[in-house]
Amino acid sequence: MNNQKTIVILGAGESGASAARLAQREGYAVFVSDAGPGSPRYLTELEEAGIEFETMQHTADRIYAADEVVKSPGIPDSVPMIVELRKRGTPVISEIEFAFRFTPKGAEIIGITGSNGKTTTTMLTHHLLDFAGVNALAGGNLGDSFARLLLDNEPADVYVLELSSFQLDGMVDFRPSIAAVLNVTPDHLDRYEYNLDLYADSKVSIARSQRLNDRLLVLADQEVIAPALRRQKIDTQITTISSDDVRDGGIFVDGYEFSLGAGQLRGRHNALNALFAVRIALQLGVNEKEIQLALDSFIPAPHRMELIPTADERTWINDSKATNVDATYFALESMTGSTVWIAGGTDKGNDYDVLMPFVRENVHTLICMGVDNTKLVEVFTGQVDTLLQCSSAAAAVVFAHHRAKKGDTILMSPCCASFDLFKNYIDRGDQFRTAVKNLNA
């Protein structure tokens, strides 16, 4: 009698293909189903591994016959097939939850989530550990999936995972020894019945399976995060991270001051990200001197307050990843002088009022870069000296060059999604960077 368990993977992208390969390694019978065309790179991986897959359809009979289903984070729980699977009692989990079962014995898992800052904090945490000689790998929602980290590398002592709310929604037993909730602000609410409480519950569920000897770091937030912790009945060691510990280009942790002046972390939001990363590193035994040296050498990910080197005596910043008001709030807050602000794209029901104090104080020119700039124009007309419109990164850079004086900062922090003019925020940021470099060639 064949007791081999059957697992179906929904979605043939990075996480799906990696989960399929990991399941195959662990002895499952594996079938991958993608309603779309799939990615050639990952379909090739499946072919080379001899894993059966289908594209442009979901064969219901095969999917409903599975012992377990791993779904892509991009598939909402409300999809009829997912509802039916759960009605039938079939476990539906995320790739992170599946990979967690095969974590090397004794390894620490660091889980980092939040509406903004996840990638920077994950990368910085990994950098602090790696700099100190800790055998650590980073991935999850960033770079390689957790399953791929387990498949394609020697076992690590620490896995630093960026986790989205969509990934957390598929967790059952996933248990990070250290978890962090950086912040919770309105984003992706279409997946959460437009209810911020449901979204916050998803974020803090990162600690649902933690035990008393595990640790949870959360932003001091009495309005959103604290009530979510009570609703979810989180029972672990909780450390609250406060913006009061950010002062004068540095951060303070347990009486020790770390300087951020020599590195490339700009703005109060990145100082908060550093507070989380430094506390995690200290808890894992990294000493203060090693942490300071690592902070000095850290280079943030592209498109996140990325400084573009030029010789034109102006400061050009690519913050294309700022696809919501909260992210742009922190970017504008970090401006300390005369600024040209480039914004626009696909508006997600944004309320720009919270940006007004920073705009009035420092922004003399707003360049609206989008197909439809109506809302930005209506809100900011009369609030800035100059308001211009364009529909390409190259045009925005030319406009900014003409309006910015020596010593000015040109900040591209769009506040909006990128899909009206660009493939994604990466394409937007790449085009902006290229245009700035061409201008200064």
Residues 276 and 348 in one domain: no
Cβ-Cβ contacts under 8 Å for 122 (sequence gap 6 or more) = 112, 138, 140, 142, 160, 161, 162
Residues 262 and 148 in one domain: yes
Question: What pLDDT does residue 248 have?
Answer: 80
Question: What pLDDT does residue 110 have?
Answer: 98
pLDDT over threshold 80, residue 187: no
CATH code where residue 84 lies: 3.40.50.720
Radius of gyration of the chain (CA): 23
Place of tokens 């790696």: 130
Residues 345 and 247 in one domain: no
pLDDT over threshold 80, residue 188: no
Residues 47 and 69 in one domain: yes
Percent of the chain with pLDDT over 70: 100
Is 284 domain-assigned? yes
- Mean pLDDT is lowest, of 201-210, 322-331, 358-367, 422-431, for 322-331
Is 167 domain-assigned? yes
pLDDT over threshold 50, residue 185: yes
**What is the per-residue pLDDT across 168-179, written as a single tens digit (0 to 9) for each?**
998 999 999 999
pLDDT over threshold 90, residue 130: yes
Residues 235 and 176 in one domain: yes
**How many Å apart are CA 362 and CA 332, to the nearest integer?**
9
Question: What pLDDT does residue 183 have?
Answer: 95
pLDDT over threshold 60, residue 133: yes
Is 389 domain-assigned? yes
Query: Across residues 281-304, what is the average pLDDT?
Result: 95
**How many Å apart are CA 152 and CA 388, to the nearest integer?**
49
Question: What pLDDT does residue 262 have?
Answer: 86
Is 375 domain-assigned? yes
**What is the per-residue pLDDT across 387-412, written as a single tens digit (0 to 9) for each?**
999 999 999 999 999 999 999 999 99
Is 418 domain-assigned? yes
**How many Å apart are CA 372 and CA 53, to the nearest integer?**
41
Residues 318 and 221 in one domain: no
Is 229 domain-assigned? yes
Q: What is the mean pLDDT of the chain?
A: 95
Per-residue pLDDT band at 267 (split at 50, 70, 90): confident
Query: Across residues 363-382, what is the average pLDDT?
Result: 96
Which phi and psi (to 5°) does residue 322 adopt? -75, 85
CATH code where residue 387 lies: 3.90.190.20
Question: What pLDDT does residue 313 have?
Answer: 94
- Contact criterion met (CB below 8 Å) for 47 and 66: no
**How many Å apart are CA 32 and CA 46, to the nearest integer?**
9
Question: What pLDDT does residue 68 have?
Answer: 98
Query: Across residues 422-428, what is the average pLDDT?
Result: 96
Query: Across residues 413-440, what is the average pLDDT?
Result: 95
Q: Of 75, 93, 111, at which residue does a domain stop?
A: 93
Percent of the chain with pLDDT over 90: 88
CATH code where residue 290 lies: 3.40.1190.10
**Domain containing 254: what range?**
98-297
Amino acid identity, residue 412? Answer: M
Residues 340 and 242 in one domain: no
Residues 87 and 215 in one domain: no
Residues 231 and 102 in one domain: yes
Is 383 domain-assigned? yes
Query: Across residues 266-273, what is the average pLDDT?
Result: 90
pLDDT over threshold 50, residue 84: yes
pLDDT over threshold 60, residue 282: yes
Is 1 domain-assigned? no
**How many Å apart are CA 220 and CA 216, to the nearest integer?**
12
Among 284, 317, 287, 323, smallest CA distance to 118 is for 323
Question: What pLDDT does residue 295 have?
Answer: 97
pLDDT over threshold 70, residue 39: yes
DSSP structure string for 56-123? S---HHHHHT-SEEEE-TTS-TTSHHHHHHHHTT--EE-HHHHHHTTPPTT-EEEEEE-SS-HHHHHH
Report which DSSP code applies to 157. S
Question: What pLDDT does residue 13 have?
Answer: 94
Number of compact structural domains in the chain:
3
CA distances from 82 to 60, 93, 356 (A): 11, 10, 43
Q: Of 246, 264, 297, at which residue does a domain stop?
A: 297
- Mean pLDDT is lowest, of 28-32, 109-113, 246-250, 372-376, for 246-250
Half-sphere exposure of 401 (CA within 13 A, CB side): 16
Q: Of 44, 77, 93, at which residue does a domain stop?
A: 93
Question: What pLDDT does residue 1 have?
Answer: 43
Instruction: Provide the token pair at 368.
Output: 């609206």
Residues 288 and 424 in one domain: no
Residues 79 and 37 in one domain: yes
Per-residue pLDDT band at 2 (split at 50, 70, 90): low
Reduced to 3 states (helix: H, G, I; strand: E, B; else coil), residue 296 is helix
Cβ-Cβ contacts under 8 Å for 226 (sequence gap 6 or more) = none
- Contact criterion met (CB below 8 Å) for 368 and 343: yes
Residues 316 and 268 in one domain: no
